[in-house]
Amino acid sequence: MAMESDPPFDSQSWISSTSSAPDAAIDQAKGLEYWNSISSDVNGMLGGFPQTSRIDLVGSSAFLAKLRRGNAGKPKDKLPKLARVADCGAGIGRITKELLLPVASIVDVVEPVKKFTDALLESLQVEGERKSEDKGQVGEVVNLGLQDWTPEPGAYNVIWNQWCLGHLNDAQLVAYLRRCKDGLVVPTPASEIENTPAQTSWIVVKENLSRDAKGHDIYDDEDSSVTRSDEKFRRLFKEAGLRIVDTKIQTGFPKDLFPVRMYALRPE
C-alpha cells in the first residue's frame, strides 16, 4: 500500500537511488525495435493469445461503465457519449475500435509504432467506422512514446493506458501520470457532488502484475519492459498525486498468464 511518509518525488534522485532496480534496464529504443518486428494483428498485439481479446474487452467495458454510471441512473439507462478520450499505447486500435469508439465522440490515439496506427486507419476506412452514427471518430493520431507525449490540458474524459506502461521507467511513469492528470477534464463542483458521469474524468491503467514471491518487479529482456507489483503501482500513483477510485482484477484469463488489474485514478 502507499505509504503516507513517502518523500516528495525527485526524478533525478529516484533514478540515482534505483539504478539497480529492474526499471533501470528499460531501453525504449530496444522496445521499439521489438514492436516493429511484431505483426500488425491481434495475435501480435496479445503475444500469441488472441483468444483473450474478447474476455479483456468485456472486463474493460464493465469497468468503464461502472465508473461512468457512478450513483446516477439505473443500470439499463443509456449513458451519454464521452466528449473526448485517449487510447495510449494503442497498437493497432483493438481497444480504440471495440471499447472507446462506441462510448466516445472523439478518440485520440497515441502509439509510437507507425505501422500499427497505419493498420488502424486502414481498417477504419475498410469498415466505414468513421461514418458510423453509433460510434465516434478517431481524432488525433500521435506517433510518440508516452514518455514524450503531453496531453492537451483539460481535454480528456478518459485517458486509457493498457499494457504499455511497462516501457516507462519509474521516474518517467510518474512524470507521465502527472501530465495525464493535467489532461483530464476538470469537473464542476456540482458534478462532483452529484457524481454526474458525463462530467467526471479518469485515468485508467490496466496492466500485468508481478508474481514475484518477494513482490519485486520483473524485467523482460525480450521487449525491454518491466512488470510491476500492485504495491509499486500504488506508490507511483501516490507520487503522481493520484488516488485510486476503483480497482478490479481482470477475470477469465488463462492461469499461466500474469494477473491483470484495472485501476481508475483521479487527482488527489
125 has binding-site annotation: no
Region of residue 193 (left: phi > 0; alpha: psi -120 to 50; beta: else): alpha
For the entire predicted model, the pTM comes to: 0.88
The amino acid present at 196, given as its one-letter code, is T
147 has binding-site annotation: yes
Question: In the prediction, which pLDDT does 266 show?
Answer: 97
Asked if 169 and 236 touch (Cβ cutoff 8 Å), the reply is no
146 has binding-site annotation: yes
Domains, the chain: 23-69+79-267 (3.40.50.150)
Q: How confident is the model at residue 76 (pLDDT cuts 50, 70, 90)?
A: low
3-state secondary structure at position 193: helix
94 has binding-site annotation: yes
Phi and psi at residue 254, to the nearest 5°: -55, 145
Phi and psi at residue 197, to the nearest 5°: -55, -40
How big is the CA angle at 233 (ends 72 and 103), to the nearest 5 degrees?
35
Quick check: 234 pLDDT over 80?
A: yes
Q: How confident is the model at residue 9 (pLDDT cuts 50, 70, 90)?
A: very low
